[in-house]
Chain A
Amino acid sequence: MNIADMAMSTSPWLCGEGDYAESVISSRVRLARNLAGFPFAHRAKPEELKEALTVSRQAIEGAGTLKTADFMLMSDLGDLDRQFLVERHLISQEHAEKSAARAVVVGDNEMLSVMINEEDHLRLQSIRSGFQVMEAWRIVNRLDDEIDKQVEYAFSYEWGYLSACPTNTGTGVRASMLVHLPALVHTGQIDKVLHGISQMGLAVRGFYGEGSEVMGNLFQISNRTALGTSEIDIVQSLEKVVKQVLDYEGKAREILLRDARSQIEDKVWRAYGILKYCRKVAHREVMSLTSAVRLGLCLKMVDSISVVGLNSMVFKSQPAHLQKRFGRQMGPSERDVVRADTVRKVLAEEEAKTGTG
């Protein structure tokens, strides 16, 4: 599938499947791996980087799991295409900014991908819809085994998989879930909860991962350490913490319903109204409006839109997504108009499906 086709569809991992899918948007596990015998990507000479790319590509293509995957060389892609892949959560901002001998391989309906020559030679990523982080680990682990049969990884008996950044050395695992926590934000308890999460040795990041900000009350919770704990233990402790956080969120929702039902209902329906009738809207605003409606959906105040519909609004509203879909470069002001059209259309389709509106 090429980028133009991708732009017309929503990522399959936003399908709303999996447990807690109304609150857990997605689960992701990535593995950092390096090839033995090559300097790490930032230290490699251009020809070494090229060779690392060739070796990695062959190994990935030899892996059964990614046999039919698409290989995309960063230098073949324009700025807009790269930005699109960032929005799609398939590459990092850093990967989009550098291009020589860098690539991404995208397979299994975008649910399994590999960045080549980012900070590490290989960054394997598996994303699933909902609370499915163990499943994501299982799938990325299988791909890792397949690649391991064809290349020799940089590995130490003492310290595990060696990474360019010592924070990733060990298992090379970063497991995360993107969680919607509106009630904890509204009741002002979020700081306390985030503090608790960091005390448990986990980290909280924004919508686009490391270094990005939180939008639409969506928090990415992930492990912070990678050495001294097995992969399964990392995944299980993330599961445990996220369940706990969801439990707090549930309690906060009960409090909102008990003490501020009319205010919440008003907030939800105002947001719904704007999404339905807006003529110009910024991405950040769509994020916060969809957050309110998502809360309304969870609290059974709204039933004319689905989780998938909301997910699709969030993703289709992103700047590069809009420009790819309409096939042209647009400035912020024109994007806001096209975004409003897009959001209204998604909502109208959702209403038609549920027979409401």
Chain B
Amino acid sequence: MLCDNCKNEPAKIHYKEIKDNQVSEFHLCEKCAIEKGIQVPHKKQTFSISNILTGMSEEAGSDVSTCSACGLTYKEFRDGGRLGCANCYEAFKEQIKPLLRRIHGSNVHIGKSPRSSQGIFEKRREIEDLKIELSRSIESEDFERAAELRDRIKELEKQQEGDE
């Protein structure tokens, strides 16, 4: 099917218009559709990280920061959307944290963890939970419970230092 307008290119955009209770169908090529001001859906819906990144307020000078392990610069990441290695997540931590939140709506992992880190991981979770409980018990002035919790957290943190 050829474009209704230029009769030259194959029609790629098909749409219906309702005007004064009259339905008219149009078949246009991409070029004519754009000329007529019709929004052309993108061929590929690629998720652009660089778009998100440029849309986020950035600290001055972050462009020059570099991952010490693989040498990727923050600018390269921003342009290409791919990180170079696991260490990049540390190197660009301050920028990645809000980025992950923007993408996923969260920046804390929940779910499976590798066998090698399971013990540590569980402990870290427990500490976080205890800290929340601690602040609750302080709010409700249950100082006895707060003291218990504080000791338990201290103990776990000490163990954690030994593990890591």
Contacts and interface: CB of A to CB of B under 8 A. Distances in A.
Interface of A: 34, 36, 38-40, 42-43, 119, 141, 144-145, 148-149, 152-167, 169-171, 173, 201, 211, 225-232
Contacts of B44: 211
B107 A228 contact: yes
Nearest to A164: B82
Majority-rule SS of A interface residues:
loop
Given A152-B116, A157-B121, A227 B83 contact: no
A201 B106 CA distance: 13
Contact of B115 (A149, A157, A165): A149
Given A43-B70, A43-B84, A158-B107, A148 B114 contact: yes
- Which bracket fits the contact residues of B? 35 or more
5 contacts: A162-B83, A166-B99, A173-B111, A225-B105, A227-B103
B17 to A, nearest CB: 14
B89 interface: yes
Nearest to B81: A165
A40 B111 contact: no
A145 B111 CA distance: 14
4 nearest A-B residue pairs (beta carbon): A228-B106, A160-B109, A227-B104, A154-B86
Contacts of A161: 109, 114
A266 to B, nearest CB: 21
A40 B117 contact: no
A157 B110 contact: no
Given A166-B103, A230-B110, A155 B89 contact: no
B106 A227 contact: yes
Given A166-B99, A227-B109, A228-B108, A40 B85 contact: yes
B130 interface: no
A38 B83 CA distance: 12
Given A43-B72, A165-B81, A153 B114 contact: yes
A173 B109 CA distance: 12
A196 B85 CA distance: 36
Interface string B112-131: 11111100110010000000
B100 interface: yes
Majority-rule SS of B interface residues:
loop
B32 interface: no
B49 A167 contact: yes
Contacts of B24: none
A346 B70 CA distance: 53
Nearest to A232: B111
Given A211-B46, A227-B104, A39 B85 contact: yes
A157 B124 contact: yes
Contacts of A141: 112
Contacts of A38: 85
A36 B69 CA distance: 12
A141 B106 CA distance: 23
B140 interface: no
Nearest to B69: A39
Given A167-B49, A171-B109, A227-B100, 10 more contacts: A39-B70, A152-B116, A157-B121, A162-B83, A165-B49, A201-B105, A226-B104, A227-B103, A231-B111, A232-B111
B96 interface: yes
A229 B106 contact: yes
A171 B152 CA distance: 29
Contacts of B86: 34, 36, 154, 156, 162
B45 interface: yes
B89 A230 contact: no
A345 to B, nearest CB: 31
B164 to A, nearest CB: 9
Nearest to B111: A230
A167 B83 CA distance: 11
Contacts of A225: 103-106
Contact of A40 (B46, B82, B114, B121): B82
A165 B70 contact: no
A141 B72 CA distance: 32
B97 to A, nearest CB: 9
A157 B120 CA distance: 8
Contacts of A211: 44-46
Given A43-B72, A156-B89, A166-B96, A229 B107 contact: no
B109 A167 contact: no
A187 to B, nearest CB: 14
A145 B106 CA distance: 25
